[in-house]
Amino acid sequence: MAVATAMSSSERKRVVVIGGGFAGINVAQELGKLPLDITLVDRKNHHTFQPLLYQVALGVLSPAEIAQPIRSILRDHQNVEVLMDEAIGFDLPQQRVLMKTGAQLEYDYLVVATGSTHSYFGRDDWAPLAPGLKTVEDATEIRRRVLLAFELAERQMQESGIHPPLKFVIVGGGPTGVELAGAISDIARLYMTKDFRHIEPASAEVQIFEGSPSILAAYPTDLQRKAVEQLNALGVKVRTNAHVTDIQPGYVVVEDERVEAAVTLWAAGVQASPLGKLLGFPTDRRGCVFVDQYLNPPGHPEIFICGDLAHVEEDGRQLPGVAQPAMQMGTYAAKRIARLTARDFGSDGSGVNAPFHYFDKGDMATIGRKAAVANIKWPFKGHLSGVFAWITWLFVHVFFLIGFRNRLGIFRQWAWTYITFSEGARLITGSQNLPGWNEKYGSQDAPSAEKQLDLASPKT
């Protein structure tokens, strides 16, 4: 079996980074400036700016505007290698990572930052019926389903004179669920009103079902209330203490109530990457690895767990699995590795024992066009909602995009879409099957010739 040393002929330290998300990219960029040999491994060749995935899911942006090849991001760091492969195990005594291709990577320091995935709470059979939103592929699948629902309704109206209600159900009222709900309402009410001749896109119904007493549970109560008000203004119905007990093609069951749904989307839960358990360290119920103040698992100061995969607590609360903590963990891990290696080469390694501390700048969630909530903690403290929160959210997210080209392109696209109500990237690719639709509406009797002629006339 091949063993890749991931290093030059010199005695430089070898750092293997598993995961090309926010934490992994920050580690590689920081260490890329130092005399170390770094190998970054990811199953995909691109880094995705996940906070904007929902904009791809609803056709406002294209995938290339929120994703960038990892090699392009790291091309200026000559000591960083990028490997498109998948880690499937670890040999901790020998300090090796086992790869899916059969290769093994040796390391002196290991950073594992493989993020999280969807959790269906033991009902994985729901996954094909209610996609979540974690990857570009998820986003394009959601886009396909949402846009296809409007297209099938238009075709159904032409062929039979009626179409089923366009009902969209989002399970989960966290930031992702709120963003998806508001965006669906926006495109239906504002961006597609002139695109169809036989249906009224603005008649689409959007519902959020949240199992807890409130949406955006991590936000202050006044912002939760503002979020509900803004969602209601967009026509989105919010139901809290509503537990979804079953999902089937074309409908969901809330307690004992059947709710029809042309499209069902999942935003209710996440679980850590399976690599956390493969490491063999203690994990929490979501699969996050318990780490110490240096982001190390028990007994392994050479291993760092970062991002969504790490269980880190401050002030008695676990840090949220969002971009800012992941970026700060990645930067911290890189600096600690730099100090440890400096000490190995005779330096005093000043600051090597400084623990990780999360600098909380606040949280933001967009709800729709000119609608958002923001819990600002830096550079000032305040609660914003409405258009001011939306503008703040816009600039913050553009600022943190990887690469200037992405920032400029996205800001230009947003401005054009906002001013002109243009079509964005509303493309349907892949299958034309929508779960539940064909089974219920695909075999209706053909209308008469007179009815067909009547239906051929555009609506007035």
Strand, coil or helix: what is 453? helix
DSSP designation for 283:
B
Q: Which two tokens stand for residue 100?
A: 């899916």
**β-pairing verdict for 37-42 and 80-84:** parallel
CA dihedral (45, 50, 55, 58) positive or negative: positive
Rg (CA), the chain: 24
DSSP designation for 9:
S
Q: CB-based contacts of 322: which residues, under 8 Å, 6+ apart?
A: 51, 363
The catalytically annotated residue of 65, 106, 141, 179 is: 179
Query: Can you tell me the distance from the alpha carbon of 106 to that of 111, in angstroms, rounded to the nearest whole number?
Result: 12
Place of tokens 């392109």: 409
Residues facing 239 on adjacent strands:
209
Query: Can you tell me the distance from the alpha carbon of 372 to that of 190, in angstroms, rounded to the nearest whole number?
Result: 17
In 227-377, the DSSP E strands lie at 236-239, 244-248, 251-254, 257-260, 263-266, 270-272, 289-290, 303-305, 310-311, 313-314, 317-318, 362-368, 371-376
Residues facing 18 on adjacent strands:
41, 112
Q: Provide the CA 403 distance to its chain's centre, in angstroms.
A: 19
Closest CA to 285 of 122, 126, 133, 131: 122
HEC assignment per residue over 149-214: HHHHHHHHHHHHCCCCCCEEEEECCCHHHHHHHHHHHHHHHHHCCCCCCCCCHHHCEEEEECCCCC
Q: Catalytic site residue 210?
A: no
Q: CB-based contacts of 229: which residues, under 8 Å, 6+ apart?
A: none
**Residues recognised as catalytic:** 179
